[in-house]
Chains A and B, each alone.
Chain A
Amino acid sequence: MTALALLGRGRRGGLGALGTTAAVVIVAAVVLAVLGPALTSADPDASDFANAYAPPGPGHRLGFDGQGRDLLARLLTGARTSLLGPLWVVALSMTAGTLIAIAAAWFGGWLDSVVSAALDVMFAFPGVLLAMLVAAVFGPGLSAAVLALSVAYLPYIARLLRGAALAERRKPYVQALEVQGAGSVAICLRHLVPNLMPLIAAQATLFFGYAMVDLAIVSYFGLGVRPPTADWGVMVAGGQPGVLQGYLAESLLAGGCIVVLVVAFNVLGERLSDDCGQGGTFGPSRWWRPGRGGTA
């Protein structure tokens, strides 16, 4: 029996080849985004129509877009907005989701009922549509989209963490602390949250990927990041006239960056959630992983 248990543990730990690759891709993207402007002398916003759709040349290794702006510079600068947006979404929704989940799980009773009912209602709103609706009402912009997506992701995060927090709360070590007379806040902050951290990290990684796609969609439709600000979603849209004329570079490169990073975040997120014993993952349904979503 003991031997079997040990055997089970042997498979866990470590990210595996795929997970490590994903982590490397993500770290590389972050480094490139941070260093961005230092890597190229070109100005991402300087437009020179003489260079429209010009092929790569010295000093402009990826060539130019339809408005004659340096593509490499725009991709690097775009990386910042494209990573910062999801970062905000994840930070906001994870923080709020964790707080709500733990409060509901810890205090139970009417608070738990109210939270659960509210979450059920929120499940009804698809993230992208909500973001577009908000943009339509308050005008386009990144912050509106970020807020809308955070609200849309909240129920998925809160529901998963509420379950995990409830399970943790019933464990003898937590009950022993209650019997000791320790305060609720102290128990939650010092014991519950740290023990939920692996799960929180895994979810954050997964939702980073989702947020990236959703923000790109919103920006693509012109309701998120406003052109001329460089952003991968904006670039995919901006490159479309070029595609019709046979100049694929802009849309393809920006779209490629999004795909590679989203896949990397998904792979890493899945690996991390495998490690914290969470069977499968949980989140809005996605067309690239049919049937695995958790839409209500």
Chain B
Amino acid sequence: MSEAILRVEGLRKVFGQAVAVGEVSFSLPPAGALAVVGESGSGKTTVARMIVGLERPTAGHVTACGRDRSQPARSARERRRRGGEVQIVFQDPYASLDPRQSPAAALEEVLRLHTALDRGRRRARVAELADLVGLDERQMAARPARLSGGQRQRVAIARALAAEPRILILDESVAALDVSIQAQVLNVLSQVRERTGVAYLFISHDLAVVRQVSDDVIVMRHGAIVERGPTGRVLDAPEHPYTRLLRASVPGPGWRPARRIGQEAKETR
């Protein structure tokens, strides 16, 4: 395995008294695809937000492309450089775009920020990115309100890719989409990885989606990693009881939902 492009070491985040993430370490190889699986409160989203700098780690280190990013960026240049290394796509397709800005303008803005391309080149690059995620010219010129959830999510992916990041974090990015649209976006993601060699950190609660897009998986619970390994192995032969529970909770043919005894008491907040 080549040198990791993203390395997280002893990452910890405490909100007041509550430990959201405690001592999490993992690494992602170039062009790899690592999934972080967990339920609400597992800390998986907090990990993602710390990596992109939207939350400040209480302790631990995040290294991307060989450079430390555990502390806030000091200069505008440093901020932009970090933006060119790691990008993120959020869950909610309806709030992920500025309602007053067309997709083309949003991509153009990112290109102005990250590249020295002239106007014509920028336009060509916008068309290229639109093509990569399967959006046509009319959709790229439309107001976001006129686009469907799936189309908006593709715009968000294209906008993230415009900075030519080495790492793309997808934080439940397909969870809110209709099944048929979700499949389209998942295929777009596979295709983008093959064509650009970007590495994915895929945050999700959906084991079937994780199987489809990731090579390796980390299972998180209550802020800690309980199991890790190649996706196929972890899903087919889970070792940790919690992973087994997750696996058994996925409905499928012949599935009988089972009531867990004594679990209910723990659910109280």
Contact = CB atoms under 8 A, between A and B. Distances in A.
B163 A180 contact: yes
Interface stretch (B11-19, B83-91, B134-142): B83-91
Interface string B82-105: 111011111110011111110000
Given A173-B96, A173-B97, A194-B100, A181 B81 contact: yes
Interface in B60-93: 73, 76, 79-84, 86-92
A179 B54 contact: yes
Contacts of B124: none
A11 interface: no
Question: What size tier do the contact residues of chain A reach?
Answer: 10 to 19
Interface in A235-283: none
A180 B79 CA distance: 8
Contact of B92 (A172, A178, A194): A172
Given A175-B54, A180-B83, A181-B83, A195 B98 contact: yes
Contact of A172 (B53, B73, B90, B113): B90
B159 interface: yes
Contact of A181 (B82, B91, B96, B101): B82
A173 B102 CA distance: 13
A182 interface: yes
A191 interface: yes
Contacts of B163: 180-181
A111 to B, nearest CB: 16
A178 B73 CA distance: 11
B98 A191 contact: yes
15 contacts: A172-B95, A172-B156, A176-B96, A178-B53, A178-B54, A179-B52, A179-B83, A179-B86, A180-B113, A180-B114, A181-B76, A181-B84, A182-B83, A182-B113, A195-B99
